[in-house]
Structure 1
Amino acid sequence: MRRVVGGAATVVVATVLLAGLSACGDGDRFADYCAEVEEQQKPLSEAFAGGGPTALIEALPSFQSLQEKSPGDISDEWGLLVGRIETLVDALDAAGVDPATYDRDAPPEGLSEDEKTAIDAAAGELATPATAAALEGVQQQARDVCKAPLSF
């Protein structure tokens, strides 16, 4: 009987130790992410300071860095956000359009209907409730876990 109890106790202790080690790994991931949040606060504030139409594009490098360091519980939100901005950048690049001067109502000469449609579709995806929820989610995570705001 002692041998069975001792064996069961060993399994329980091993399970607790493995859980603790895996939590430390998450802790490291959160620490790395929170350090990145703090590092990206100034560039993000600068990107959004003017409130211009290219703010999300200007913020993309910071968002990509945060996505790379993000812990699993917020990686989907970062993936959605970064993916949608990259899709818009790709559509603008493919059309040879400067995001800072693009005017949907007065598109540049030579812009095909397909290129305009691709740009409109990509921009439209940024204005969806799912994108807004992802933005709120990453901001909430930064406040709750890192105790550092990300202001967009």
Structure 2
Amino acid sequence: MRGRHEGAGMRARAALVGAAVLVGLLTGCSGDPFEAYCERVEEHQVALTEAVAAGGPDALLSVLPELQDLREAAPRDVADEWQQVVGRVEALSEALEDADVDPASYDREDPPDGIDDQQRAAIDGAARELVRPTTLAALGDIETQVRDVCGTPLYQ
């Protein structure tokens, strides 16, 4: 009889240890789901702030890698908004690159030699999409969400 009780006791202890390990793993992984996103926001905050302060036609283009990183880290509740904003910046970047145009010096009224009507139309279209109300609203939603969830502005 004693062997039977010892085996049951060992199984019970093993089950308790297993449950304790499982609980530890689950609670160890259940941290703030926005933590990594907010860390990236803080990581890129200086670059975004400098780009906004500098202004100019290439401000957002200069921080495209940072914006793409934030889009990748974005929580589901703002993923569509990040896609809207970053997608518009990417489209403008591609249009300028395809036309082999420097965004900092591009002048729509006096485009550089060698740019054709199709390239100019692509640049103009991408620039219009970037400042459309839907894109600006998406950016506003992102800024609000970052402030609410991360407790800091996207840029200062």
Q: Name the TM-score, length of structure 2 as normaliser.
A: 0.79
- Quote the residue 1:81 is aligned against: 85
Distance 1:141 1:69 in 2: 14
What's the secondary structure of 2:106's corresponding residue? coil
Identify the residue that residue 12 of structure 2 maps to in structure 1: none
Q: Which segments of structure 1 move beyond 4 Å, counting only runs of 4 or more?
A: none
- 1:24 paired to 2:30: yes
1:112-123 matched pairs, under 5 angstroms: 112-123=116-127
Q: Which residue of 1 aligns with 2:76?
A: 72
State the match for 1:6 in structure 2. Answer: none
Paired position in structure 1 for 2:3:
none
Letter in 1 for 2:77: D
Work out the CA distance in 2 between the residues paired with 1:62 and 1:47.
11
Q: Residue in 1 aligned with 2:14?
A: none
AA in 1 matched with 2:149: V
Q: How many residues align?
A: 131
Aligned equivalents of 1:24, 1:73: Cα separation in 2 = 18
Distance 1:31 1:138 in 2: 16
- Corresponding position of 1:51: 55
TM-superposed deviation, 1:77: 0.4
Identity %: 49
Q: Residues of 2 paired with 1:50 and 1:34: CA distance?
A: 24
Which sections of structure 2, spanning at least 5 residues, go unmatched?
1-25
Deviation of 1:85 after TM superposition, in Å, equals 0.4
TM-score by length of 1: 0.81
Q: 5+ unaligned residues in a row in structure 1: which ranges?
A: 1-19
RMSD: 1.9
Question: 2:96 is matched with which residue: 92, 105, 124?
Answer: 92
The residue number in structure 2 matching 1:8 is: none
Q: Give the drift of 1:151.
A: 2.6
CA distance in 2, matches of 1:130, 1:56: 17
Residues 27-46 of structure 1 mapped to structure 2, 5 A cutoff: 27-28=32-33, 30-46=34-50
Q: Distance in 2 between matches of 1:42 and 1:104?
A: 30
**Larger Cα-atom Rg:** 2
